A and B are shown apart, each in its own frame.
Chain A
Amino acid sequence: MADQLAIGSRRGLRPALPLLLPAYLWLTVAIFLPLSAMVFFSFMTDLPLAGKEWSFTLGNYAAFFSQSLYSKLLLASLRLGLEVTLWCVVIGYPAAYVLAKVLKGRSREAIFLLVILPFWSNGLVRIFSWAMVLREGGILDTALNAVLPFKINIDLMYSYPAVIIGLVHSYVPYMVLTCYLTLQAIDDSLIEAGRSLGASRRQVLWRVIVPLSMPGLIAGSALIFVPVVGSFMEPRILGGRTGTFYGTVIEDQFVAVFNWPLGAALSFILLAVVLIILALAAPVLRRAG
């Protein structure tokens, strides 16, 4: 009886198992087995369904490496990820700084909530709302022409900038969130010490504040870069014909062309790229908690 009293730190997997098993079984069936199945399928010539002939092949991976289209699209997606991440840093970091160091009390709390609130609302719908703003004869077009004395035509819809704008809008709250958390943890007295020792504002920014908030910047970048590289819905809606990226090609394999093994191989290559990126960011993410 006595040894049962220390509830906080009881040893052994056995008593924990009944509590853990349902959740982890579910994750296994719906996440880990599917991911393994995807790897398996990516080495097949065809789906082993309805008595179709199939055999093992490296052909799906050979397709990726022999046809420059796929690697080009992967590069285009990586570039898209990089650009969106950079814009999120440029836009999100100053906002996080103001939130953490300028605003105080209730107004900070309220604005913080306002900034991250859209992030948790439906992404598809938010992308769609941009379509209305960006198209010719849309709100941006009409508003600018009403204000400006000369006539200009704004038709950003179905272009690369439209995809960037939509994606930055979707992901910038992430950057604000992670940077805010690390910036808020920086002791104000460090900044004051730097200033009183004669450092200029700029020096304090680059030598004290930015290095100390690096974990937040890197965490935010990883959390933005990874999903953007795999995005397909945003380029489809805002990019139109110019919106062909690696993600849209994978989507096509599953919903239009029905070449699942090739789609699985392409997905797995993307997964490998993503895992490498996450592995590089993991030590920093762990420190950032």
Chain B
Amino acid sequence: MATTRILEWLGRFYIVLLLAFLYLPIIIMALMSFNTSPFYQLPFEWTTDWYASLWQNDQLIAATWNSIEIAVITTIISTVLGVMASLALYRYEFRGKKFLQALLFPPIAIPWLITGTAMLIFFFGVGIGRGLVAILLGHVALALPYVIVVVSARLQTFAPELEEAARSLGANQWQVTIRVTLPWIMPGVIAGGLFAFAVSFDQFVVSYFLSTPGQTTLPVEIYAAIRKGFTPEINAVSTIIIVVSMALMLLTARFFKFGGEK
């Protein structure tokens, strides 16, 4: 039918508009980070000076290293703890299991403003205070539920008969886990780990409340810089961040389908 055709093309056109809305600001920001004028004036003149001057900015570089370090440690800890918990939730039936699974949602669902300020109060009260340790404690807690959800989803596709077969052939629990179960759920584990890295690397709110002037992460440093005023340097570093985090998510998508499309 002709109307159906027209409606379908309108639909496609609409998607293009939506994508433009989603990507235009990001693309403009990236372009401006290569523009000579510090006041974003046109005509556009190509330069990489702003990226070069990033290298001179010791504060930003220190914050970047902190971000990377914390994201890597968060990934390792939350992946290990998350895989262990997922295996337990998959293998065993016990009372209160539903409750334990429900407990995973508060860290995801409660606004980070509330979680962040609560952590600040508590860590201060027990003497941990602010700083990188506090940030790490917080990031792992925020990443853990994502890892457990992603790995559990992958475990749903695992046939328990495989573990049983391995056991009946004489493998012990440890060997079964390492040789049979882990290889099968590896795509889920990798996706969970990448998620954890992204959650930590992009985290702003919680880090903001838990950081001190010497011990901050890159997003917190950028926020401080934005509030002082715009500089093309922030464009440059923001462009790098957005490219890194989008690349990470593309990589994650390779290992984990975001629902649908079976």
Interface residue ranges, A against B (CB under 8 Å): 4-13, 15-17, 19-20, 22-24, 26-27, 29-35, 37-38, 41, 47-49, 91, 94-95, 97-99, 102-103, 109, 111-118, 120-126, 128-133, 137-139, 142, 169, 172-173, 177, 180-181, 184, 223, 226-227, 229-233, 236-237, 247, 250-251, 254-255, 260, 263-264, 267, 270-271, 274, 278
Contacts and interface: CB of A to CB of B under 8 A. Distances in A.
A117 B113 contact: no
Contact of A270 (B114, B140, B202, B230): B114
A264 B19 CA distance: 40
6 contacts: A30-B138, A37-B118, A95-B15, A124-B204, A128-B226, A229-B111
A172 to B, nearest CB: 8
A37 B167 contact: no
A170 B137 CA distance: 26
A7 B100 contact: no
B55 interface: no
Interface in B126-172: 137-138, 140-141, 144-145, 148, 160, 163-164, 167-168
Contact of A12 (B26, B41, B94, B223): B94
Interface residues of B, number: 96
A270 B140 CA distance: 24
A23 B81 contact: yes
Interface stretch (B6-14, B56-64, B183-191): B6-14
A184 B260 contact: yes
A122 B12 contact: no
Contact of A233 (B32, B94, B204): B204
Nearest to A138: B40
B163 A7 contact: yes
Given A8-B91, A24-B103, A142-B42, A267 B238 contact: no
Contacts of B230: 131-132
Contact of B25 (A24, A49, A126, A227): A126
A30 B104 CA distance: 13
Interface of B: 8, 11-12, 14-15, 18-19, 21-26, 28-29, 32, 39-42, 77, 81-82, 84-85, 87-89, 91-96, 100, 103-104, 106-107, 109-115, 117-125, 137-138, 140-141, 144-145, 148, 160, 163-164, 167-168, 176, 198, 202, 204-205, 208-209, 219, 222-223, 226-227, 230, 234-235, 238, 241-242, 245-246, 248-250, 252-253, 258-261
A271 B114 contact: yes
A177 B258 contact: yes
Contacts of B202: 120-123
A227 B111 contact: yes
Given A114-B19, A114-B22, 9 more contacts: A16-B89, A31-B118, A35-B118, A91-B18, A116-B258, A124-B219, A226-B110, A230-B113, A267-B113
Nearest to A142: B42
B219 A132 contact: no
A124 B14 contact: no
A270 B111 contact: yes
Contacts of A254: 117, 120, 209
Contact of A122 (B89, B94, B103, B241): B241
Given A95-B14, A115-B18, A6 B137 contact: no
